[in-house]
Amino acid sequence: MITQKCIDEIKMAARIEDVVSDFVPLKRAGASYKGVCPFHDDHSPSMHITPKLGIYHCFVCGAHGDSIKFLMEYQKISYPEALRYLASKYNIAIEEEKKELTAEQEAAKNEREALLNVNAYAEKFFTNQLFESEEGRNIGLTYLRDKRGFKEETIRKFRLGYCPDTWDTFSKKAVADGYKPDDLLTLGLCRKSEKTGNLFDFYKGRVIFPILNAFGSAIGFGGRVMSQEAKGPKYYNSPENPIYHKSDVLYGFYFARRAIRERDNVYLVEGYTDVISMSEAGVENVVASSGTALTDGQIKLIKSQTNNITVLYDGDNAGIKASLRGINMLLAAGLNVKAVLLPDGEDPDSFAKGHRDSELKDYLEQNAVNIIQFEAKTLMHGAGNDPLKRAEVVNTIIETVAEVNDEVLRAFYVRECAELFQLSEESLQVNLKRALWKRMNTPSPARVTNIPQQPVQQGQPVQQQLPNVVKPEEVPQTQQPPTDPLFDLEYNIIRLILKYGFFETNVRDVDADGQEVIRRMRVDQYVFNEFHAEEISFTNPLYQHFYQEYARLAQQFDSQDDLCKAFAQHDDEALQALAIPILTEQTPDCSPAWEQRFDMETPRPDTDIECLNQEITGCVNLFKMRLIDKCKELLIKELESGDLTEQEQRDIMMRIGELNERAKELGNLQRIVISSQY
Ligand SMILES: [Zn+2]
């Protein structure tokens, strides 16, 4: 582990313009730099470098981050690798520390190491059996070589093995060699007989496929039966245990990593033998999801190496519809997805074997189509000219398009879909908007880690960029999804405190006697006071999270610039993604009052207290009024529900009366500070 002190030193030394210009030519533009963004296909300089904040930000694809993030994304390297690169660039000696572990962590680490040791022992036992024992050679090796057609070289590369067809050869040997029965059971290598309490071998009479982690250690095993008649399922797999989490593993990843990086693409197949056959046929950038639907953990693994994925589908149409859902997940994670449909009756394993190396590669390259073409082709199968069925297919495709984060790519897909089905682009745009709206209100773990892709632009409703976990409401049949006015107001409050929180402003207030008074305080202090006094919080969870983090960081920093920099380079990607568009706004997109008073390029709220005051108090008051409206709505609904006692009804009426009073007060305040924007 590199010490925090050393990381800080590296971050201090790494100048963003310096780091980026090693790879992308930059042109100076005032206090910042511009260059052609390497993260999307472009010719104009849409990437901006802001040295003051230490960040890059692309206004087209939304890529953003600090020097370290740039290197990680551009070079496809890990966080520590990026740190090491920068350390050598700036001649900083790397300091490593042995992390002090708590007793609990120490125990967990020891347990993990012990379990990895057991698996290493088991792996060796199985390969030895395969190559050295008579039974292994006659049955296991013969099967893999003759039946499956693997070369011995490949069998050795993938470290395949064999477990003897006896009850406890492995169990007995492992225990005799000092391995704990409990560990053998935890790892699923052995089972315990209920009758006798003796251990027996879980993989008895099966060929073994070790599942390796990114460092090449066996964390689990798959055991396959060899004859069709054998009892039990075709594959036995390791159970979840402290070192094996199925959802974080891709079979073959350890061997494929380099090839994935070099070809900047990964082929996704289903099973162990698909991976091995394709790799043997020279397509080494291949991994398997092992039959399960892809998980976030697996997608992360892929994204650490490439943004391009090609999914291979068996030649029979069955099951394709179900797996299209998996594709949507990949798109939502920001991957460029292509698909290949194999000829009828073929799977990747059989197809790779039946064709010469070059034929396989050619087929994959020539038949990889984008996701629109793929869905159109597979879903239209059998639909004929039935207009209802065609409409259903178009809707499914549009729902897929809605998962694409890149707006430009989305537009491209819509056009393609329109051409394919000979429909107008406009009509598809209406469907797309509805699908986007639906998607926005359906929280997806894959998406939350990946927000927002598009910069927030003037006048655009914020919630189109941000996922929210608010209950999905009825999607009305209008063309324009309704926007929650609360989110707009909340976003603007966040904007103002992030940009001007440290600035002082005069805040108009009404004292206990109803007299108007003026108080001078910092903008962020004003917001905190108001929220605290009224016991209110943001309704958008991401904004509330931001607000809490702001409160914490504001105590640590003495200047707005330092605080902004902390957010621009924040470890929490969601916060970073929220802050950067605000900090890199090209124009002060605030109320007309701002625009009249300030030079567009250089807003100087510090010299115009009145303007800042109008903006922030107007926004906070309106927010409060809208919250009151929402409260009233809920209370009225409760009243109308009809199952209240008389006393309860009276209480609610009273509460509504109070809220009306409060709204009136705020309305009066608002008239004083009214800001024409709202
Ligand atoms: Zn870009």
351-367 pLDDT tens trace: 888 888 788 999 999 99
Q: How far is the CA of 452 from the centre of ligand 1 (A)?
A: 13
Q: How far is the CA of 83 from the centre of ligand 1 (A)?
A: 23
Average pLDDT, the chain: 81
Q: How far is the CA of 504 from the centre of ligand 1 (A)?
A: 36
Q: What is the DSSP string of 168-207?
A: SHHHHHHHHTT--HHHHHHTTSEEE-TTT--EEETTTTEE
Q: How far is the CA of 549 from the centre of ligand 1 (A)?
A: 28
The highest-confidence range among 181-195, 230-244, 658-672, by mean pLDDT, is 181-195
Q: How far is CA 451 from the centre of its chain?
A: 8
Q: What is the DSSP string of 529-583?
A: HHHHHHT---SSHHHHHHHHHHHHHHHH-SSHHHHHHHHHT-SSHHHHHHHHHHH
Q: Is the pLDDT of residue 459 over 60?
A: no
Q: How far is the CA of 45 from the centre of ligand 1 (A)?
A: 9
Q: Are 249 and 238 in contact (CB under 8 A)?
A: no
Q: Is the pLDDT of residue 599 over 50?
A: no
Q: Are 407 and 359 in contact (CB under 8 A)?
A: no
Q: What is d(CA 414, CA 427) in angstroms, rounded to the nearest whole number?
A: 10
**Cα dihedral 624→625→628→634 (10° resolution):** -120
Q: How far is the CA of 57 from the centre of ligand 1 (A)?
A: 8
Joined together, the tokens standing for residue 397 give: 């495709």
Q: How far is the CA of 487 from the centre of ligand 1 (A)?
A: 27
Joined together, the tokens standing for residue 222 give: 């798959």
Q: How far is the CA of 46 from the centre of ligand 1 (A)?
A: 7
Question: What is the pLDDT, as a whole number, of residue 35?
Answer: 92
HSE value, Cβ hemisphere, 13 Å, CA-based, for 431: 22
Q: What is d(CA 280, CA 399) in angstroms, rounded to the nearest whole number?
A: 37
pLDDT per position as a tens digit, 544-562? 999 999 998 988 888 888 8
Q: Which residue has the higher pLDDT, 350 or 98?
A: 350
Question: Three-state secondary structure along 7-28?
Answer: HHHHHHHCCHHHHHHCCCCCEE
Q: Are 420 and 544 in contact (CB under 8 A)?
A: no
Q: How far is the CA of 168 from the centre of ligand 1 (A)?
A: 58
Q: What is the DSSP string of 348-399?
A: HHHHHHHS-HHHHHHHHHHH-EEHHHHHHHHHSTTTTT-HHHHHHHHHHHHH
Q: Is the pLDDT of residue 643 over 50?
A: yes
Q: How far is the CA of 406 from the centre of ligand 1 (A)?
A: 10
Q: How far is the CA of 457 from the centre of ligand 1 (A)?
A: 15
Question: What is the pLDDT, as a whole number, of residue 474?
Answer: 32
* Residue 433 one-letter amino acid: K
List, in order, residues 6 or more apart from 442 with CB less than 8 Å away: 472
Q: Which residue has the higher pLDDT, 212 or 600?
A: 212
Q: How far is the CA of 400 from the centre of ligand 1 (A)?
A: 22
- Return the closest-CA partner of residue 500 out of 615, 418, 587: 615
HSE value, Cβ hemisphere, 13 Å, CA-based, for 94: 13
Q: Is the pLDDT of residue 442 over 80?
A: no
Q: What is d(CA 249, CA 513) in angstroms, rounded to the nearest whole number?
A: 67
**Cα dihedral 104→109→110→116 (10° resolution):** 150
Q: How far is the CA of 42 from the centre of ligand 1 (A)?
A: 7
Q: Judging by beta carbons within 10 Å of its beta carbon (0-12, 13-18, 19+), is residue 332 exposed, middle or buried?
A: buried
Q: Is the pLDDT of residue 186 over 60?
A: yes
Q: Is the pLDDT of residue 426 over 90?
A: no
Whether the CA torsion 400, 402, 405, 408 is positive or negative: it is: positive
E strands, 405-554, are 504-510, 516-522
Q: How far is the CA of 62 from the centre of ligand 1 (A)?
A: 6
Q: Is 248 helix (H, G, I), strand (E, B) or coil?
A: helix
pLDDT per position as a tens digit, 87-138? 988 888 888 776 666 788 778 878 888 899 999 999 999 999 999 999 999 9
Q: Is the pLDDT of residue 473 over 50?
A: no
Question: What is the pLDDT, as a whole number, of residue 322?
Answer: 57
φ/ψ region of 517 (left if φ > 0, alpha if ψ in -120 to 50, else beta) reads beta
Q: What is d(CA 3, CA 7) in angstroms, rounded to the nearest whole number?
A: 6
Q: Are 550 and 497 in contact (CB under 8 A)?
A: yes
Q: How far is the CA of 44 from the centre of ligand 1 (A)?
A: 10
Question: What is the pLDDT, as a whole number, of residue 320?
Answer: 65
Q: Is the pLDDT of residue 526 over 70?
A: yes
Q: How far is the CA of 51 from the centre of ligand 1 (A)?
A: 18
pTM: 0.55
Q: How far is CA 170 from the centre of its chain?
A: 42
Q: Are 275 and 148 in contact (CB under 8 A)?
A: no
Element (H, E) at 336: strand 336-341
Q: Which residue reads 């002190």 in tokens?
A: 5
Question: What is the pLDDT, as a whole number, of residue 317?
Answer: 59
Q: Judging by beta carbons within 10 Å of its beta carbon (0-12, 13-18, 19+), is residue 594 exposed, middle or buried?
A: buried
Length of the chain (residues):
678
Question: What is the pLDDT, as a whole number, of residue 461?
Answer: 35
Q: What is d(CA 636, CA 358) in angstroms, rounded to the nearest whole number?
A: 71
Mean pLDDT of the region 649-654 = 86
Question: What is the pLDDT, as a whole number, of residue 300?
Answer: 81
Joined together, the tokens standing for residue 510 give: 């009404």
HSE value, Cβ hemisphere, 13 Å, CA-based, for 312: 34
Question: What is the pLDDT, as a whole number, of residue 638?
Answer: 82
